[in-house]
Amino acid sequence: MSFLTKNRIIGLVLAAIIFAADQWIKKVIDVDLAMRLGDRIDLLPVFALHRTHNYGVSMGMFEATSPEMRWALVALTALIAVVVCVWMLREKALGDIIGLSMILGGALGNIIDRYDYGYVLDYADLHINGFSPFLIFNVADAAITIGVVIILARSFFVRDKDPTDTSEAA
């Protein structure tokens, strides 16, 4: 049995696509549109590009207020990404691999930002008549969130059949 199964290759490719898309869109925001902190471009009645910098982790918690804290966050998130990658490469079920690959691709995108700039560039602002039910986020954040939901849903609601289980054969 090969280590790099079809499902694992799909997971690695998906993680790479999410990472590349995240970095490309951030380049568009930063370089091509030359948006600066606080700049906003309304695209739809419910969606705007609104540049913010997140110096913390999820929802701005654990904000890095010093260089030491910044590098500790880089190290911690890199360690988490390594754990997720190892977990993904040990999984066999495509559903679990998809969820983990989304988490991995998103984590790598945000780690690169934090490493290069000291913050994560966020820009996606969903709103309804001035009410913003979500914090401003990016592709990496969305991928991580969706990946976590997939992993949780599969752990609570999906039971992969064990090929050695013969109890149903009787």
Residues annotated as catalytic (active site), given as ranges? 122, 141
CB 51 within 8 A of CB 43: no
Token pair of 61 as six digits: 């918690």
**Helical ranges in the chain per DSSP H:** 6-27, 67-90, 94-117, 139-157
Beta-strand relationship, 47-54 and 40-44:
antiparallel
* CA 26 to chain CA mean position, Å: 14
Cα-flanking dihedrals φ and ψ of residue 44, to 5°?
-140, 165
d(CA 48, CA 41): 6
Give the Å distances, CA to CA, from 129 to 47, 48, 132, 133, 138: 11, 12, 8, 11, 21
